[in-house]
Amino acid sequence: MARTVNEEKRLERRKRILEEAVVLFAESGYSNTTTALIAKNIGVTSGTIFQYFPTKETLFHAAVLEPLEDIQKKSLAMLQQDESPAALIKNMVEEQFNHIYSYTNELRLVQSVLGQRIRFPELTQQVLDSIKVMTDTIECVYAKGQSLGEFNPGFSPAMISRSYISFLNGVALTLGEDIVHHPEWENLKAHAYYLFAPVQHSTN
Amino acid sequence: MARTVNEEKRLERRKRILEEAVVLFAESGYSNTTTALIAKNIGVTSGTIFQYFPTKETLFHAAVLEPLEDIQKKSLAMLQQDESPAALIKNMVEEQFNHIYSYTNELRLVQSVLGQRIRFPELTQQVLDSIKVMTDTIECVYAKGQSLGEFNPGFSPAMISRSYISFLNGVALTLGEDIVHHPEWENLKAHAYYLFAPVQHSTN
Amino acid sequence: MARTVNEEKRLERRKRILEEAVVLFAESGYSNTTTALIAKNIGVTSGTIFQYFPTKETLFHAAVLEPLEDIQKKSLAMLQQDESPAALIKNMVEEQFNHIYSYTNELRLVQSVLGQRIRFPELTQQVLDSIKVMTDTIECVYAKGQSLGEFNPGFSPAMISRSYISFLNGVALTLGEDIVHHPEWENLKAHAYYLFAPVQHSTN
Amino acid sequence: MARTVNEEKRLERRKRILEEAVVLFAESGYSNTTTALIAKNIGVTSGTIFQYFPTKETLFHAAVLEPLEDIQKKSLAMLQQDESPAALIKNMVEEQFNHIYSYTNELRLVQSVLGQRIRFPELTQQVLDSIKVMTDTIECVYAKGQSLGEFNPGFSPAMISRSYISFLNGVALTLGEDIVHHPEWENLKAHAYYLFAPVQHSTN
DNA sequence: GATGAATGAGCTTTCATTCAT
DNA sequence: CATGAATGAAAGCTCATTCAT
């Protein structure tokens, strides 16, 4: 029992470290974020970090991958519900664009990894694998939608899913903090769905 | 005369430093790139860098902004030629996507800046300003195309130009080095133009 | 308790660093003294210095001002005892000249600052302020002594106190390490008091 | 003949370098003065300095010793004129205090050397030797004055000359740039002569 | 003889990591 | 377990000095 309480405390603290790491790594980059600052911001001392993560790099990996998995899981769950492909995709786009502000940091972290593949080769691979799971699923749903006449059959599903992921990342990258207050925000969101080339009557 | 020769030599070397800096900063990020390595890679010693750029940060700024300006200039020139808006935009997309591999590093640098706005606030602003010039021009051409019936009139030009820039950056970011060897590369390129919602008869 | 022990240890080490800094800065000057040498001489590694003083310059300031304050405090205390002005001044001169060898380095540091006012403007000001407190006090005591007929009334107290401080510093500067072994040392000390122009009968 | 012209040019330039070196070394200290700045300030390039002085240290030695010798020569000449000892000393004090502002930098240089004997041992020795010549001469004149009843016979000439040199240096050190505008300046100058303990009737 | 670009050793400062308490 | 002082390698930057032009 006592064991469990300790276990919980440890997990709780680990989570706090990870949260703060995500914020700081995203804001300032890997090298410019010090383990001491992460520690200070959550009210522990510098040594404590290393009781939970053996190295700074390990912490970074966790800060990149763990939130990514959470996000993926949520999105994949949405795509496996019992609705028409077009509806599934529309929901996914809505969901991802509406909540984009709540995981800006996580996205930015992923992007910073992709931007430095040579420096983080292993991590990059894991990120790409994770993205691949996502695009594969979208591809699959999209193909089904095409066969049902919901999407323009002239486009390759592989390309479409790639396009969407690229667009999503590009939007998050080029628009800033206040991304959702951009005057064209609503139109941009609609255009994300337009990318899938929905056949008219089913879009409405 | 002697003066000119020296001046040329200096410019030549400055260019070499900048080229190498672009590569290394893009590959490894600002902090993880040492000025000593840049020097070593071009066959000079560490002190030489600082004869051309007073600080590492100055070098970084130059490495980000100077190539960006070159690229912008080329693109803007293309958009001001004497052709129909649709043709201009199509050419621009073709050009940018075809040459994307030749300035992957430059793009990546820009992206790394945008990903760390807090750390490089001034530089970020300059990059955003530079991008704005680009989107404004595209917007302008696009609006003209709409009035000529070349593009779907239902979309906001501001949104469209933003979308395209986001897409371009997203593609460069999520696809790797061998971006152009991706099996969907050609389709992706076509989809970039599709983003502009060209009216059918002119797309073919 | 544990807290107190740590606190004490820190203060102890801070003091050791400062002591060594005083010696080395005085012997070799600010620029020619490396923080690494200070560290090495007290048996710690280079980084440790910066746990106690954020920059080399901060350390220098502390090395100049803290001992100066100690010395001043002692001298001021002497001048506020319950004796005749002439006795107070005589004691002060005795004290300062007798102990001059024990704070040669501290004096030399102060002198090196005064010699480079442009380079250390803020520090210079603080040193001058500190000296002013000293001369003001001497002036005050001297004036009282004049009114009691202990000193020649023909001299301006402000000039006299300045003269003494100048003389003290000049002696420390032009005589070397073995200042107190100089054959004229005792006579010189007597002449320091002579500077105050004591009226004969009270000098003996 | 052409030879001579070149020779003159060289000497002229050497002098310019030395002058600038005196100013900068005095203001900022040895280490903090760069050879490049000296060069720049007199309108030549960095390499030129080393055509006239093999190393920075050589230049420093020259900047300290050459002006010191000039000053000494002048003072010694004054002390060897055909007047009474008291008049000679009075003239010397007048002269040195009146012109103190014109060789503040030279004095400061000397003082900075004396403050760092360990760092410049050889140079220190030469400075001390130079000072010794001065004090010896003063001593000699003073002794003669004592035997003529011009000075209080109770003081050791060696001590008196030391005192005066110490006082002179101390005044220059503790008073700043605008030394001669100090409200007590005239009194201070008078006190410098008082140091020699002149017998009353000859002081006026 | 003057130039000024290149050199490279040396400096201050940072920071991930360790470990005695 | 948490602490936080100590470590020491590594980085950016400076600058006296050299030398080809």
Tokens of D119: 């760092």
Instruction: Tally Cβ neighbours within 10 Å of residue C7.
Output: 10
Strand E positions closer than 7 A to protein CB: 1-21
* Residues D95-108: tens digit of each pLDDT: 888 888 888 889 88
Rounded to 5°, the CA angle A72-A75-A76 comes to 80
Is B111 at the interface with chain A, CB within 8 A? yes
Distance from the Cα of D82 to chain C's closest Cα (Å) equals 29
Question: Residues, chain B, total?
Answer: 204
Q: Is the CB of D125 under 7 A from strand F?
A: no
Between chain A and chain B, how many beta carbons pairs sit less than 8 Å apart? 146
Tokens of C7: 């606190």
Chains A and B, touching by 3 or more CB pairs within 8 angstroms: yes
Is C179 at the interface with chain D, CB within 8 A? no
* Residues D116-153: tens digit of each pLDDT: 888 899 999 999 999 999 999 999 999 999 999 999 99
**C63-203 domain in CATH 1.10.287.1080?**
no
Between C57 and D28, the more confident residue is C57
* Residues C150-166: tens digit of each pLDDT: 999 999 999 999 999 99
Buried b (16+ CB within 10 A) or exposed e, D170-185: bbbbbbeeebbebebb
Residue B24 β-bridge partners: none
Instruction: Say which nucleotide is closest to residue D46, CA to C1' distance.
Output: E4
Q: Is the CB of C166 under 7 A from strand F?
A: no
Q: Is the CB of B32 under 7 A from strand F?
A: no
Residue numbers of B between 41 and 100 with CB closer than 8 Å to A: none
- Nearest to D14, CA basis, from D69, D85, D62: D62
Q: In the 51-80 stretch of chain B, whose C-beta falls under 7 Å of nucleic acid strand F?
A: 54-57
Q: Is the CB of D153 under 7 A from strand F?
A: no
The pLDDT confidence band at residue C201, using thresholds 50, 70 and 90, is low
**CA of residue C58 to C1' of nucleotide F1, angstroms:** 36
* Residues A60-99: tens digit of each pLDDT: 999 999 999 998 898 899 999 999 999 999 999 998 888 8
Q: Is the CB of A10 under 7 A from strand F?
A: yes
pLDDT of B134 strictly over 70:
yes
**Is D151 strand, coil or helix?**
strand
End-to-end, the C-alpha distance of chain B in Å comes to 56
What is the CATH topology of the domain spanning D64-203?
Answer: Tetracycline Repressor; domain 2 (1.10.357)
Chain C residues close to D180, C-beta within 8 Å: none
Tokens of B1: 């005369």
pLDDT given for residue C1 in this prediction:
40
Among 3.40.50.720, 1.10.10.60, 1.25.40.10, 3.40.50.970, name the CATH number for the domain at B1-53: 1.10.10.60
Q: What does residue B189 show for φ and ψ, rounded to 5 degrees?
A: -60, -45
Residue reference for tokens 């983080």 = A120
The rounded mean pLDDT for chain C is: 89
Q: Which residue is nearest to nucleotide E7 (CA to C1')?
A: B45
* Residues A130-141: tens digit of each pLDDT: 999 999 999 999
Subunits in contact with chain B (3 or more CB pairs closer than 8 Å): A
pLDDT given for residue B93 in this prediction:
93
The pLDDT confidence band at residue A10, using thresholds 50, 70 and 90, is confident
Distance from the Cα of D35 to chain C's closest Cα (Å) equals 15
Tokens of A109: 């972290």
The rounded mean pLDDT for chain D is: 89
DSSP per-residue codes, B74-131: HHHHHHTSSS-HHHHHHHHHHHHHHTGGGGHHHHHHHHHHHTTTTTSHHHHHHHHHHH
Contacts 24+ apart (CB under 8 A), C25-28: C25/C60, C25/C63, C25/C64, C25/C109, C25/C112, C26/C104, C26/C105, C26/C106, C26/C108, C26/C109, C26/C112, C26/D115, C27/C105, C27/D116, C27/D117, C27/D118, C27/D119, C28/D116, C28/D118, C28/D119
pLDDT given for residue C204 in this prediction:
41
Tokens of B98: 């075809």
pLDDT given for residue A5 in this prediction:
65
Strand F positions closer than 7 A to protein CB: 1-21
pLDDT of A118 strictly over 90:
no
pLDDT given for residue C104 in this prediction:
84
Q: Which residue is nearest to nucleotide E6 (CA to C1')?
A: B48
Chain C residues close to D158, C-beta within 8 Å: 183-184
Q: Is the CB of C10 under 7 A from strand F?
A: yes
Contacts 24+ apart (CB under 8 A), B40-46: B42/B16, B42/B17, B44/B13
Is D189 at the interface with chain C, CB within 8 A? no
**CA of residue D47 to C1' of nucleotide F18, angstroms:** 9
Average pLDDT over residues A186-194: 92
Give residue D192's Cα distance to chain centre: 16
pLDDT given for residue B102 in this prediction:
82
* Residues D145-181: tens digit of each pLDDT: 999 999 999 999 999 999 999 999 999 888 776 676 7
**CA of residue D32 to C1' of nucleotide F7, angstroms:** 30
**CA of residue B91 to C1' of nucleotide F2, angstroms:** 63
**Is A151 strand, coil or helix?**
strand
The rounded mean pLDDT for chain B is: 89
Instruction: Say which nucleotide is closest to residue B45, CA to C1' distance.
Output: E7
Q: In the 1-20 stretch of chain B, whose C-beta falls under 7 Å of nucleic acid strand E?
A: 6, 9-10, 13
Is B125 at the interface with chain A, CB within 8 A? no
pLDDT given for residue A1 in this prediction:
45
Between B167 and C117, the more confident residue is B167
The residue type at B203: T
Please give the Cα distance from C174 to C169 (Å, whole number): 9
Is C197 at the interface with chain D, CB within 8 A? yes
Q: Can you give A117-146 as a three-state secondary structure string?
A: CCCCHHHHHHHHHHHHHHHHHHHHHHHHHH
Q: Is the CB of A36 under 7 A from strand E?
A: yes
Percentage of chain A with pLDDT > 70? 93
Distance from the Cα of C81 to chain D's closest Cα (Å) equals 27
Q: Of D120, D128, D159, D161, which to mutate for an interface test with C (greatest number of C Cβ within 10 Å)?
A: D159
Please give the Cα distance from A102 to D8 (Å, whole number): 78
Q: Is the CB of A40 under 7 A from strand F?
A: no
Residue D43, phi-psi category: left (phi > 0), alpha (psi -120 to 50), beta (remainder): left
Is A108 at the interface with chain B, CB within 8 A? yes
What is the CATH topology of the domain spanning B62-203?
Answer: Tetracycline Repressor; domain 2 (1.10.357)
Distance from the Cα of C193 to chain D's closest Cα (Å) equals 11
Is B160 at the interface with chain A, CB within 8 A? yes
Q: Of C107, C112, C162, which to mutate for an interface test with D (greatest number of D Cβ within 10 Å)?
A: C162
Ordered by start, the domain boundaries in chain B are: 1-53, 62-203
pLDDT of A12 strictly over 60:
yes
